[in-house]
Amino acid sequence: MTASTAIVTTTVNTPHFLAGYLEQFAERSHGEVSFVVVGDKRSPPDTREWLSKQEWGDAAWTYLDVQDQERWHERFPALDRLLPWNTIQRRNLGYVCAAEQGAQTIITIDDDNFVTGDDFLAGHGIVGQRLTVDCVGSDDGWANVCAVLETDGGPVVHRGFPLSRRHSRARWQTVSRTGRIAVNAGFWLGEPDVDAVSRIANPTQVLGVAPGTTTPLGLAKGTWCPFNSQNTAFAVDLLPAAYLVVMGAEYRGMRIDRYDDIWMSYFVRAIADHLDDLVVYGRPLVHQERNAHDLLGNLRGELPGMILTDSLVEVLRDVRFGSTTYAECYRELIDALGVAFTRTGTADVDRRFWCDVLNSMALWADLCAQVLPAT
């Protein structure tokens, strides 16, 4: 029987963290779930052997090693341009594999996400359901949802939140919205997902969601906040818009990093608002025990994204969609951004940068059309 839910992760380590998921699923008799683990050229050679020795119960698993992925490259030669080796963006291939296997919901996790005592699959089981949820709206169209988290230090601002809106004092209002849950972006305990500047200035741990906060928490139509690719679930028809933009391109003497999922989230957000779908922030189903990071290296990679994001989101807000699916709307978005970033007055360096990004997005859309013709 095809599993309706797939959990996708990338790792360059032996994925010991998955043992906790398997233990919890066995205890709670969760069966119809599959795992897609995407390796890379730096992955330990014993990864498949370790996976084969685990107690999977009714769960299925797929490990994509280098040879497996090269076969995908033979099927879809555009992958050579889309997905460089030794990058987290190879997770995109895991999404495609899960979709081709028949998954209706894809959950994406990092290899430092450990399950808590909460029911992981049940928490993400709201994806695809039509629900009425509390939503936050703000006067300026921005809401840092991490403001509802309790920490052992200062306040937390979500990675990728526009710098120009970071200190906004716009008033929040709570409204109810009814719609299909297209994305459940779960919060996290332990290490929050913040940028390097925040981590250097305010090293803090997330203890939970503030009392009185209802989860899942949505956003009013037209109010935005980014989400990321850890502890996040999305409906499979979002696949064309779920592309983690390949990083590493040069911009004004810097190489961009850590905005792959952030820009994806803004693209999804713009389309979801048009389609009246809901992107919600769910309870913290994982504890992040962050892998070792070079914070100054993170900062160098994030600076181009910080510079570019403020203008990107303003352009996104002006995009007008006429289609009714994520696949069609993603094509419209690519075209609209292409017009915006090639208009008179755009600096050559910005034009070249965005043309490369949009070309990769178009290649991804072509790939999704071949894998999921109905999306």
Segment 273-318, tens digit of pLDDT: 999 999 999 999 999 998 888 999 999 999 999 999 999 999 999 9
Residue 374's pLDDT is what?
61
More confident residue, 2 or 169: 169
pLDDT tens digit sequence for 130-142:
999 999 999 999 9
Residue 344's pLDDT is what?
78
Residue 291's pLDDT is what?
83
Q: Name the band, by pLDDT with cuts 50, 70 and 90, for residue 32.
A: confident
- Would the pTM of this model clear 0.85, i.e. be above it? yes
Q: Which residues contact 235 (CB under 8 A, 6 or more apart)?
A: 104, 105, 127, 128, 180, 181, 182, 183
Q: How many helices (H) and strands (E) does the chain have?
A: 11, 14
Residue 372's pLDDT is what?
85
By the 8 A CB rule, do 184 and 232 touch? yes
How large is the average pLDDT for residues 249-262? 97
CB-based burial of residue 55 (10 Å sphere; 0-12 exposed, 13-18 middle, 19+ buried)?
exposed
pLDDT tens digit sequence for 81-113:
899 999 999 999 999 999 999 999 999 999 999
Query: Among candidates 183, 155, 196, which has minimal Cα distance to 295?
Result: 196
Residue 143's pLDDT is what?
98
Residue 128's pLDDT is what?
98
Mean pLDDT of all residues belonging to the chain: 96
Query: Among candidates 238, 280, 236, which has minimal Cα distance to 4?
Result: 236
281's tokens? 């922030």
Where helices occur in the chain by DSSP H, the ranges are: 18-27, 47-52, 66-75, 79-82, 91-100, 120-124, 196-201, 260-275, 295-317, 326-340, 348-371
Q: Name the band, by pLDDT with cuts 50, 70 and 90, for residue 1.
A: very low
Residue 98's pLDDT is what?
98
Query: Among candidates 99, 79, 78, 101, which has minimal Cα distance to 90?
Result: 79
CA–CA separation, 223 vs 313, rounded Å? 12
pLDDT tens digit sequence for 326-366:
999 999 999 999 999 999 788 999 999 999 999 999 999 99
The residue assigned the tokens 């292409």 is 338
Q: Name the band, by pLDDT with cuts 50, 70 and 90, for residue 262.
A: very high
Residue 211's pLDDT is what?
95
Residue 373 has pLDDT above 80, yes or no: no
How large is the average pLDDT for residues 214-241? 98
pLDDT tens digit sequence for 173-221:
999 999 999 999 999 999 999 999 999 999 999 999 999 999 999 999 9
Q: Which residues contact 117 (CB under 8 A, 6 or more apart)?
A: none
